[in-house]
Chain A
């Protein structure tokens, strides 16, 4: 026994340090090796190229959106300075500006509210549905719809403007809006009346949402009033393939298409 201690004492300290370092190294190599197979198993052979394709398409989408915004600015300037009868041109440009505002094609700022939602960090009990602990499209729809009912004039989620044709949908554990892939945390910004924050937080729908999602599953919620909320313009297409203007003289009221049953 005494001999063993003596032998241990004889080991130079650098060897001990090196030994300890190698131990940690070995641990990390094992951890790394252990982490790989489970990812590969969960993944399939095709996934890395798929991720790459999706990433490329996303960056293409960002470029296209930037081009659209830039072209719209250029067109707006050309239209404002176009030749012709001065009064008519001015009047037409006023109508255009109002239509753009109504359509959500203009950046807005004003009083408002921000609501941020993030996935739960709670441990998922055995037998529970993991999806319940993630923010889903329906969570965003609940908050967005309540904000409209509270008088919101313009809403964006992670910078994507909500328009008349915008839908929010789940793809696996992530969310699509206007064909754009949203990454958590989800930040909803709305412009509306000065008291929109208190309207939201005192609404029955919101109280119910807090109970059902925040309290029950630990979805993380942050909300606050904003003096100067900024809501960027819709950077998408306004092209219609199926909907057309009514032929001149036609009355929308006369058709059976819209009459109440």
Chain B
């Protein structure tokens, strides 16, 4: 009788023990990911996710409308060439295959800028919502990277002599604010490379050329 009760007790304790051991392990492993972020970082992340989701939802609506109009054209046996051409123009413009115009900013870069700093500048402009970029007369696409030692930079094999200009089409207020904010790239460079001068100027109308690159993959093939 006593030993039966003892077995039950030990069994129960083992159960609780196992449960707690797992809770403890999970509490320690849970440190990875979102739970690791501070409230401030989470707020920034949420703002960014919200903004992106709004863009994605609007893209879904655009694509839904496009699919509907193609379906209607097919049901009525009418040509949808106009719709196809609009779709083509939309994709080509976004990809950098056609020249673009719009408002934005010009960043004049003077002094012995490093390639890293120039690439960081392009990255900052992309994060701030730039829709099209160019360095001097070279359109910046995904694979466009500034290379070379300070004083001998080049982009797509075109030499960049100081001063050179970076053009960005987008919301000029956001683009300017993002570059010139406290701790932004302009103030960072003032500390790390005092010889480099970045001058940000909003422009009402910029014109950026199409890319000279062939963006068609040669090594890669569409996945079937």
Q: Are A242 and B34 in contact (CB under 8 A)?
A: no
- Give which listed residue, A102, A180, A245, A246, contacts B52 with CB less than 8 A: A180
- Which residue of chain A has the shortest Cβ distance to B51 in the bound complex? A179
Residue B20 is within 8 A (CB to CB) of chain A in the complex: yes
A-facing residues in B89-134 (Cβ within 8 Å) = 89-104, 106, 108, 116, 119-120, 123-127, 130-134
Question: What sequence of 0s and 1s flags, for each residue 181-199 of chain A, a beta carbon within 8 Å of any chain B beta carbon?
Answer: 1011000000111100000
- Which residue of chain B has the shortest Cβ distance to A179 in the bound complex? B52
- Which residue of chain B has the shortest Cβ distance to A163 in the bound complex? B142
**Given A99-B92, A258-B207, also A176-B48 (CB < 8 A):** yes
**Given A47-B39, A243-B93, also A14-B3 (CB < 8 A):** yes
Question: What sequence of 0s and 1s flags, for each residue 84-116 of chain A, a beta carbon within 8 Å of any chain B beta carbon?
Answer: 110011001101101111111111111110000
Q: How far is the CB of B42 from chain A (nearest CB, A)?
A: 4
Q: Are A246 and B100 in contact (CB under 8 A)?
A: yes
- Give which listed residue, B53, B67, B96, B130, contacts A78 with CB less than 8 A: B67
**Given A50-B46, A164-B133, also A75-B87 (CB < 8 A):** yes
Q: How far is the CB of B213 from chain A (nearest CB, A)?
A: 9
**Given A50-B39, A246-B207, also A171-B140 (CB < 8 A):** no
**Given A47-B42, A236-B56, also A79-B80 (CB < 8 A):** yes
A interface majority secondary structure: mixed
B interface majority secondary structure: helix
Q: Are B218 and A252 in contact (CB under 8 A)?
A: no
Residue A257 is within 8 A (CB to CB) of chain B in the complex: yes
Q: Are B209 and A252 in contact (CB under 8 A)?
A: yes
Q: Which of A2-10, A65-73, A121-129, A217-225 contacts B (4 or more CB under 8 A)?
A: A65-73
Q: Within 8 Å CB of B89, what residues of A?
A: 245
Q: Within 8 Å CB of A172, what residues of B?
A: 36-38, 40-41, 44
Binding site for B on A (CB under 8 A): 12, 14-15, 17-18, 21-22, 24-25, 28-29, 31-32, 35-36, 39, 43-44, 46-47, 50-51, 53-55, 57-58, 60-61, 64-65, 67-68, 71-72, 74-75, 78-79, 81-85, 88-89, 92-93, 95-96, 98-112, 138, 141-142, 145, 148-149, 151-155, 162-169, 171-174, 176, 178-181, 183-184, 191-194, 230-231, 236-247, 250, 252-253, 255, 257-261
Besides A71-B63, A171-B44, A242-B171, 20 other CB < 8 A contacts? A25-B13, A28-B20, A81-B74, A84-B80, A89-B84, A102-B97, A108-B223, A148-B143, A164-B94, A184-B32, A191-B219, A238-B90, A239-B55, A239-B59, A243-B132, A245-B93, A246-B101, A250-B101, A257-B106, A258-B209
